[in-house]
């Protein structure tokens, strides 16, 4: 009896998840991710609230950067002890803390200075969520499906981050105002906590196979922390980690200061978030499967090149809604394709025995920049204006372009040499 096309497609989907992991667990994780990301997006209205309380972009940069040290320490603990708790438990705890921080923001009145303390809680919680959620997904999927499922995960995150400000704006214009909107974000987080905890009930505990390698082909032995770090940093994964750091600088600047940038230009910030989000959905849910058929290094190089052009386009936006929308869409398309591919590449080029530490390291770099770079970005805006900030961002994007095409050329040269050697023999 011959297999039907539907049966073949079903087995292809199953092959991308590990044994014992069903689609229900993946869907619940994505829904929980959508919840916390939407709450995060609603908190992106915080710069406007800071202005209402008498602050400016530099003050908001200080609030956002307040959690950098604590976030680095927490993610450092994840790197050092990646198997201490199941990743979904770590995510659920962090989302709960984010809900607490959102509720605290809703109680802040009169002055913006108490937000510095709450920034520590919010920044740390979001950093752990952003770092540990890919760990949950990575433990559920195979190598072949990792780039695709990372695309689904990060795509869902970007949908929430894009929809959140739009929903928040609608709520702010009601009787809820800023404070009620931030409290609503905390309620959304609680729903996300419940969904994330359900994931653990539907998936096996994979910690016993993480961070181990076979010794003599028999008993597993844990790779020491120092040895694992050395292997990662000496591998091709190091280049992916540098690119992830630069992604964070671009992402946090474009997202965190978008509401105030739009206001300064006389534009509607919803245009950015809607077009950016639609482009991310297209890239991660529509194009990720097609992109997976090609060399990951080529996809990365092409996507970061598009990102660089998009960031440069913001220098030409002025008060044009059309140019604003096109630049936002191009940014979402490039970023949507590039980041999950780079994340998956960092894992796939690493040894099996150290993979449980790769994503926490990526998260550490990403979140250190997410929380630290706004301090520089806010100061740059307050001192020199938005054009100066975009000039800095373009230079960072060009560094990514250089790395991307360099690694693609190097890999192509290596494959060419291997083919020549094979033919000669």
Is residue 389 domain-resident? yes
Q: Is residue 9 part of a domain?
A: no
Calculate Rg over the CA atoms of the chain.
22
| Residue 242 contacts residue 230 (beta carbons within 8 Å) | no
d(CA 383, CA 68) in angstroms, rounded, equals: 23
pLDDT at 216: 44
pTM here is 0.72
What are the per-10-residue average pLDDT scores of the chain (425 residues)?
A: 46 51 81 93 89 84 85 82 79 93 89 87 89 81 73 82 89 90 94 90 61 44 72 83 92 87 89 88 74 80 93 91 93 88 82 75 83 88 91 94 89 65 53
As a whole number of angstroms, the distance between CA 237 and CA 412 comes to 17
Cβ(172)–Cβ(178) under 8 Å? yes
Domain count, the chain: 1
112 falls within a domain: yes
Residue 210 domain-assigned (yes or no):
no
Rounded CA-CA distance 50/60 in Å is 7
Phi, psi of 326 (to 5 degrees): -65, -45
Report the residue count for the chain. Answer: 425
Question: What's the pLDDT score for residue 419?
Answer: 53
Q: Look at residue 403 and tell me if it is in a domain.
A: yes
**Alpha helix (H) ranges present in 107-236?**
114-138, 143-172, 177-202, 225-233
* Residue 86 located in a structural domain: yes
The pLDDT, as a whole number, for residue 207 is 55
Range of the domain at 290: 21-203+223-414
- Rounded to whole angstroms, how far apart are CA atoms 63 and 256? 11
Q: What is the CATH number of the domain that holds 379?
A: 1.20.1250.20
For residue 423, being part of any structural domain is answered with no
Collapsed DSSP state (helix, strand, coil) of residue 221: strand
Residue 377 lies inside a defined structural domain of this protein: yes
């Amino acid at each position: 009896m011959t297999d039907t096309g539907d049966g073949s497609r079903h087995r292809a989907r199953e092959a991308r998840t590990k044994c014992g992991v069903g689609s229900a667990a993946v869907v619940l994780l994505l829904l929980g991710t959508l919840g916390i990301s939407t709450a995060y997006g609603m908190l992106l209205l915080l710069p406007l609230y800071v202005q209402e309380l008498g602050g400016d972009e530099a003050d908001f940069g200080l609030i956002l950067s307040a959690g950098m040290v604590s976030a680095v320490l927490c993610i450092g603990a994840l790197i050092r002890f990646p198997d201490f708790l199941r990743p979904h438990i770590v995510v659920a705890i962090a989302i709960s803390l984010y809900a607490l921080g959102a509720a605290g923001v809703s109680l802040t009145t009169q002055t913006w200075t108490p937000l510095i303390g709450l920034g520590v809680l919010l920044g740390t919680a979001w950093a752990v969520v952003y770092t540990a959620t890919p760990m949950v997904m990575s433990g559920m999927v195979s190598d072949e499906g990792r780039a695709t499922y990372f695309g689904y995960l990060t795509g869902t995150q970007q949908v929430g981050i894009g929809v959140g400000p739009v929903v928040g704006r609608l709520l702010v214009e009601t009787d809820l105002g800023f404070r009620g909107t931030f409290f609503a974000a905390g309620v959304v987080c609680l729903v996300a906590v419940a969904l994330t905890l359900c994931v653990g009930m539907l998936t096996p505990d994979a910690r016993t196979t993480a961070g181990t390698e076979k010794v003599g082909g028999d008993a597993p032995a844990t790779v020491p922390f120092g040895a694992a770090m050395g292997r990662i940093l000496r591998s091709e994964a190091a280049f992916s980690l540098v690119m992830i750091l630069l992604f964070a600088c671009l992402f946090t600047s474009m997202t965190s200061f978008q509401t105030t940038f739009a206001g300064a230009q006389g534009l509607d910030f919803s245009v950015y978030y809607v077009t950016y989000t639609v482009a991310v959905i297209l890239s991660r849910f529509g194009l990720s499967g097609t992109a997976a058929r090609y060399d990951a290094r080529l996809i990365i190089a092409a996507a970061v090149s598009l990102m660089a052009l998009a960031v440069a386009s913001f220098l030409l936006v002025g008060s044009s809604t059309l140019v604003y929308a096109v630049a936002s869409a191009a940014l979402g398309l490039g970023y949507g394709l590039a980041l999950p591919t780079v994340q998956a590449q960092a894992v796939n080029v690493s040894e099996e025995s150290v993979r449980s530490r790769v994503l926490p390291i990526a998260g550490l770099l990403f979140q250190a920049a997410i929380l630290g770079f706004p301090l520089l970005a806010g100061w740059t805006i307050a001192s020199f204006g938005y054009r100066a900030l975009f000039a800095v961002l373009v230079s960072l994007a060009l560094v990514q372009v250089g790395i991307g095409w360099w690694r693609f050329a190097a890999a192509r040269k290596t494959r060419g040499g291997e083919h020549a050697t094979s033919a000669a023999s």
